[in-house]
Structure 1
Amino acid sequence: MTAAPEDPTRTISPVAPPEAVVPAYAAPAYASPAYGAPQPYSAPQPYGGQPYPGYRYDAQWSAPAAPPNNVFAWVAFGLGLGGLMFGLLTSIAAIVFGHLARRQIRERGEQGGAAALTGLIFGYVVTIGLLLVIVAYVLLIVFAIAASTSVSGVGSSL
């Protein structure tokens, strides 16, 4: 059996069941505020209402001052990296400035220890690398000259 379709135009009147009747609620009566002359603004008070002892509200906050950077440390860093391009001249200078910077950082408490150490490392690596290349080149020339005289049996006039 099929149920007859309900009429969509039929209105249903909402009626609350007797146990769901809510009693009327009256809003509490509040006293109206007494307005007078406007009060000047003052410093904010903590939750207790009393200011903290020894605390000034007008003091501005600033970050603690960090120690300055050592200039020689950054010079050593730049010269050490420059040694990759310019060779022994800047790498030896990076070693000198790196040691000067590390001494000044220990004495003065400045920042830049990592930059000085990086400049020293690059300076030493580039200097040692280039010296090894120069020694290898000289040995190559010596062995080439020695090999040419032993093959022909006649000394070279070079």
Structure 2
Amino acid sequence: MSYPPPPGGWHDPSAAGPQSSPPADPYSPADPYAGMKSADPYAASGYPPGAYPQPGAYPPPAGYPGYGHPSGPKQNGLAIAAMVVSIVGALGLCGYGLGGYIGAVGAILGHVSRKQIRERGEGGEGFATAGIIVGWIATVLAVLATVAIVIFIVWATNQDSSSYDSTTY
């Protein structure tokens, strides 16, 4: 039993013999370079409007830097060092509070780096400010801890040690 041919001029390939070329893709243009004559970057891909373009068919937007491209000014290394030294000084407060004196070094480094940042136009203003603030806080706490230790030692040495009664035995 055979079926009538569908409308649209389709024919059975086995009945007509071998074809010399494959059927044309309805989405590809007859001239493969026809799309490159247009100013539209998507027309160069050969796809119909709305389809995704091929990678590399058009340049990336101008506002985005490529990978590995530094974004912004160079960071001031002294500002980073100021912050690190100040944090180490703040952590040094755990050792009877005397390690906090290292925070003064971090605060001074922060002031110097802030001056360099203004002169050179570098980045790292936040690191420098953090180093200054944390450094001076650690130094003030170290001074308070030193005063408290000295007061405790003076108080302990002025205690009357004769209050212990050894005659009760």
Q: Calculate the TM-score normalised by the size of structure 2.
A: 0.51
> Residue in 1 aligned with 2:112?
100
Q: Quick one: which amino acid aligns to residue 107 of structure 2?
A: I
Q: Does 1:116 align with 2:122?
A: no
Residues 1:96 and 1:125: Cα distance change in structure 2 (over 3 Å): same
**Which one of the candidate residues 74, 83, 88 is aligned to 1:82?**
88
Residues 1:141 and 1:43: Cα distance change in structure 2 (over 3 Å): farther
Q: Quick one: which amino acid aligns to residue 77 of structure 1?
A: M
> Residue in 2 aligned with 1:127?
139
> Residue in 2 aligned with 1:41?
36
Q: CA shift at 1:144, angstroms?
A: 2.3
The worse-fitting range, judged by mean Cα deviation, of 113-122 and 83-92 is: 83-92
**What RMSD in Å do the two structures reach over aligned CA positions?**
3.3
Larger radius of gyration: 1
SS in 2 for 1:41: helix
SS in 2 for 1:147: coil
- Name structure 2 gaps, 5 residues minimum: 1-29, 41-57, 93-98, 164-169
Q: Quick one: which amino acid aligns to residue 89 of structure 2?
A: G
> Residue in 2 aligned with 1:91?
103
How many percent identity over aligned positions? 30
Residues 1:126 and 1:65: Cα distance change in structure 2 (over 3 Å): closer
Q: CA shift at 1:107, angstroms?
A: 0.9
1:46-88, CA deviations, whole angstroms, 9 ceiling, x for partnerless residues? xxxxxxxxxxx98983549521111111111111111122323
How far apart are the structure 2 equivalents of 1:74 and 1:93? 13
Q: Calculate the TM-score normalised by the size of structure 1.
A: 0.54
> Residue in 2 aligned with 1:136?
148
How far apart are the structure 2 equivalents of 1:42 and 1:81? 62
